[in-house]
Chains A and B, each alone.
Chain A
Amino acid sequence: MRIPSLGAGLVLAAGAATAGDLPELTVITYDSFVSEWGPGPAVEAAFEETCECDLNFVAAGDGAALMARVKLEGERSEADIVLGIDTNLTAEAEATGLFAPHGGTVGDLDVPVAWEDETFLPYDWGYFAFVHDTSLENVPQGFEELAESDVSIVIQDPRSSTPGLGLLLWVKAAYGDRATDIWSALADNVVTVTPGWSEAYGMFLEGEADMVLSYTTSPAYHLIAEGDASKAAAPFSEGHYMQVEVAGKLASTDQPELADRFLAFMLTDAFQAIIPTTNWMYPAAIPDAGLPDGFETLIQPAKPLLMSAAEARAARGPALDEWLNALSR
């Protein structure tokens, strides 16, 4: 997800005008999705062309904080769709009983897992990776190497951010019972833990840390949008954890039919073609035109890692405690 040109949705959120009597569809999502340079504006324009409706994005922090918000608002929520949690959270989200099945048939998807979820639909995916400036010497090639080095990193809080949670499960998937040791060893490399991806990536760009937890696709933004080849993702020998970002319909929606249409629209070319160069992720259904030039330069992890939704839900609590304990010392 996410583009490095930051900016939360605050500007859009305030400027969003309600268009007359058209039915209104409200999508809550993470900050960077609705920023000026994110997918939000283009998606809104594309959907409104055909939907006879007013599409409204509301930003609510990072992906994991979205879950807190959904739980907080419960059935009182005015949102119709939640867009931006990932498969590490879908089991938890399902268990709240606040989501309704998407009811559609899933066609051909280009996500690297078989899609059987009946509530959530994927819209993009990527690999987590530590991104650095190419001027960095002795780039660590794994967590142990990173822990031993004095390379500084900014990471995200797994309680509020889906990348933060992804990192937690990445270490867990790669190291199992040794995860605590890895975190203890990493503690002195962590400059700070931010609530969301935007804050962390911003700090990295301002030079507050050598590396930042982001995606293998992040360098594509610098390369394609800025013509800057100075950013790279470090391939880790343990493999790279994947993220599949999803959207789901809230059961309390007052626009169920419109919400279904949005979910269907999400997997069409009109939406998917926007994703690579605005959210800087791999589209869930590769558009006819294929991936933009520049994506071929990105590293391809040799060993993809991903827990199933149920595994992730079971692993999250204990892993979070390990993480808190290791980093609070």
Chain B
Amino acid sequence: MAERAQPLGAAGAVGIAAAAAIPLLILLATVAIIRVAEPGSGLTQADWAAIRFTLWQAFLSATFSVTLAVPVARALARRRFPGRGALVTLLGAPFLLPVIVAIFGLLAVFGRGGLVNSGLGMLGLPQISIYGLHGVVLAHVFFNLPLATRLILQGWQDIPSERFRLAASLGMDAGAVNRHLEWPMLRQVMPGAALVIFVICTMSFAVALTLGGGPRATTVELAIYQALRFEFDLDRAAFLSLIQLAITVFLALLAYRVLRHPGFAPGLDRPLMRWDGRTPALRLLDGILILFAALFLLVPIASAVVRGLPEVLGLPQAVWVSALRSLCVAGASTVLVVALSVVMALAATRLRSQGSWIETAGLTALAASPLVLGTGLFVLIHPLANPESLALPVTALVNAFVTLPFALRSLVPACRTIESEYGRLADTLGLQGWVRFRLVVLPRLRRPLGFSAGLAAALSMGDLGVIALFADPDTATLPLQVYRLMGAYRMDEAGGAAVLLLALSFGVFWMLDRGARRADA
């Protein structure tokens, strides 16, 4: 091949090193875990219970989310109404929503003194408890129903509009359209959506931490946390981590093959022109479904805001300090994501067709769940230093790893486009290295970079995972502070802190994402 060898450049070399370092770090953590892991007498009954609970709640969460999402997505696909675009955008919001804020809202709605139980009480019906399996599944459906709806709505949009026109010209009614057009699409899309949600739910530590607990509602990740923080049993934590690793690696690989749309695909705001389903009964049904979905999403968040907003200004100093700490963690995490994803995307572009492994390398960080990675780092660090003293840097690092695959997914194609459109021009003008990056790449990369940075900041801001594993009482981040305040039943302050967290999470996302867009315009 005589294609001019693309000079890799310093950034490209760093990118390759970074891409290699990530799986290496994961490997190192895994080896550390394996070395420490002590199977003891093998899997105890309680371990089996944790595995069973992990898979069972994930199965229920995925099933409910996807099943409920189908009618909602269909309603959204075939109706036009004012606010539809806003609602579809809202469906993307739970991705950025800090888990602990949602839990606070869900408790306000579904808890003992919440709206739902008050309603049940007035009707003389038995009350429901939000703790244990119910609560975990409820919270997971809250987070994943919107995701499932978006994934399935995408499936609907992918059906060529000509087919609907054809169906209309053949006079098909809603039932026939369902049989011939919709059901075949759903059969393709639903398993993938369910699998993705299943995977997410096996790794959703914060929900298990807040609503689970007790041997009957313990996930494997929660058991890892308990082994470390309750008993300081490193062997056991490591052994459980291996179990969790086995589960997630298997599922993540499976999911990556199935998942094509990350749920951010554009164009979801354009409704299809539909001719079927125009009967008043179907309209009413769709209307009710959309209303239900919107309320299910909005009411918990709104209750959290209503309860917490008046408390924000009176929050104790410790909460503000932890907010500042969270901002620092989010900032560090964002810088890390931006730096890593840019050099890795540049390397992937320079390596051309051989560069696809770079993206895969970024994904390995996801295959090991953040909590397992955290445990590995804990085991690595413990002989050398007090892990608690590194709580914040480790949290920033692990959070960066979580966002990196999303960032690479948008940056790599963008970098490739820039290279193919302007690479040669830049070459003939002798633009190389930093000048080329600053002058050609960065301005055209601003939007995906802003989005990625916003994502990194928001996810890191709201994270309640590794920090719970590492933090000592003095280094709480804001989400951990909300959790502790809730644990102490200081609900007013917890609400205020939750609102602050909500505002900061969406605020940093908005600032970075919009900031980049504005600079671009």
Interface residues of A (CB under 8 A from B): 6-11, 13-15, 31, 35, 58-61, 64-65, 67-69, 71-73, 76, 157, 159-160, 187, 190-196, 198-199, 202-203, 205-208, 321, 323-325, 327-329
Contacts and interface: CB of A to CB of B under 8 A. Distances in A.
A324 B215 contact: yes
A60 B472 contact: yes
Contact of B216 (A64, A206, A327): A327
Contact of B49 (A64, A76, A207, A329): A329
Interface string B297-318: 0000000000000000000111
A10 B215 contact: no
A160 B112 CA distance: 25
Interface stretch (B154-162, B281-289, B330-338, B485-493): B485-493
B496 to A, nearest CB: 13
Given A10-B481, A157-B214, A324-B46, A72 B388 contact: yes
Given A68-B230, A325-B46, A59 B489 contact: no
Interface in B48-84: 49-50
B231 A68 contact: yes
A185 to B, nearest CB: 14
A55 B322 CA distance: 23
Contacts of A160: 226, 229-230
Contacts of A35: 488
Interface in B250-274: none
B216 A328 contact: yes
Main secondary structure of the interface of B (DSSP, over half): loop
Contacts of A11: 316-318
A159 B226 contact: yes
B248 to A, nearest CB: 21
A194 B472 CA distance: 19
B486 to A, nearest CB: 8
Contacts of A7: 488, 490
A328 B45 contact: yes
Nearest to A96: B232
A35 B472 CA distance: 17
B489 to A, nearest CB: 3
Nearest to B226: A159
Interface string B473-486: 11010000100110
Main secondary structure of the interface of A (DSSP, over half): helix
Given A206-B489, A328-B50, 7 more contacts: A11-B317, A73-B386, A194-B487, A206-B113, A207-B112, A208-B129, A323-B215
A157 B230 CA distance: 9
A187 B216 contact: yes
A10 B318 contact: yes
28 contacts: A8-B488, A10-B473, A10-B485, A14-B316, A14-B474, A15-B317, A58-B473, A61-B229, A68-B229, A72-B386, A157-B213, A187-B216, A192-B129, A192-B131, A192-B213, A193-B215, A195-B487, A196-B487, A198-B489, A199-B488, A207-B112, A208-B131, A325-B45, A327-B215, A328-B45, A328-B46, A328-B50, A328-B215
B318 A13 contact: yes
Given A10-B473, A59-B473, A195-B487, A159 B230 contact: yes
A10 B317 CA distance: 10
B214 A193 contact: yes
- Max chain B CB contacts within 10 Å: which of A10, A203, A329? A10
A14 B477 CA distance: 12
| A-B CB proximity, top 8 nearest | A202-B489, A193-B214, A328-B49, A14-B318, A159-B230, A324-B46, A328-B215, A68-B232
B321 interface: yes
A13 B474 contact: yes
A91 to B, nearest CB: 15
Contacts of B454: none
B458 to A, nearest CB: 24
Contacts of A329: 45, 49, 216
Nearest to A183: B215
- Max chain B CB contacts within 10 Å: which of A72, A321, A325, A329? A72
A200 to B, nearest CB: 10
A13 B49 contact: no
A58 B218 CA distance: 28
Given A13-B318, A31-B488, A60 B213 contact: no
A9 B490 CA distance: 12
B120 to A, nearest CB: 14
Given A10-B473, A13-B318, A207-B112, A71 B232 contact: yes
A162 to B, nearest CB: 12
Contact of B129 (A6, A10, A191, A198): A191
Contacts of A190: 214, 216
A6 B490 contact: yes
Interface in B185-225: 213-218
B317 A14 contact: yes
B132 interface: yes
B488 A191 contact: no
Contacts of A73: 386, 388
A208 B236 CA distance: 32
Nearest to B316: A11
B279 interface: no
B489 A203 contact: yes
B387 interface: yes
B242 to A, nearest CB: 19
